[in-house]
Amino acid sequence: GDLGINIEQNTVHGSDSAENAKHEISLFFSESELVNYDRR
């Protein structure tokens, strides 16, 4: 990636859709660890 030395250590990631983001977030966090955020 552009922001890491190699792909294994690249810490920046963007999901390609809201559905995939929800799935990927669930791999690392439980529902109780998530908060709602309204961007104004």
Going by the DSSP 8-state scheme, the letter that residue 11 receives in this structure is: -
Whether 11 maps to a domain, the answer reads yes
Catalytic residue among 9, 13, 31, 39: 13
Going by the DSSP 8-state scheme, the letter that residue 16 receives in this structure is: S
Whether 39 maps to a domain, the answer reads no
Instruction: Give pLDDT, residue 2.
Output: 61
Instruction: Give pLDDT, residue 40.
Output: 83
* Cβ atoms of 10 and 1 closer than 8 Å: yes
Q: Which domain holds residue 5?
A: 1-29
Whether 40 maps to a domain, the answer reads no
The answer to whether the pTM exceeds 0.85 is no
* Cβ atoms of 2 and 14 closer than 8 Å: no
Whether 3 maps to a domain, the answer reads yes
Residuewise pLDDT in 10s, the chain (40 residues): 466 666 666 666 789 999 999 999 999 999 999 999 898 8
How many domains are there within the chain? 1
23 is catalytic: no
Instruction: Give pLDDT, residue 27.
Output: 93
Instruction: Give pLDDT, residue 13.
Output: 75
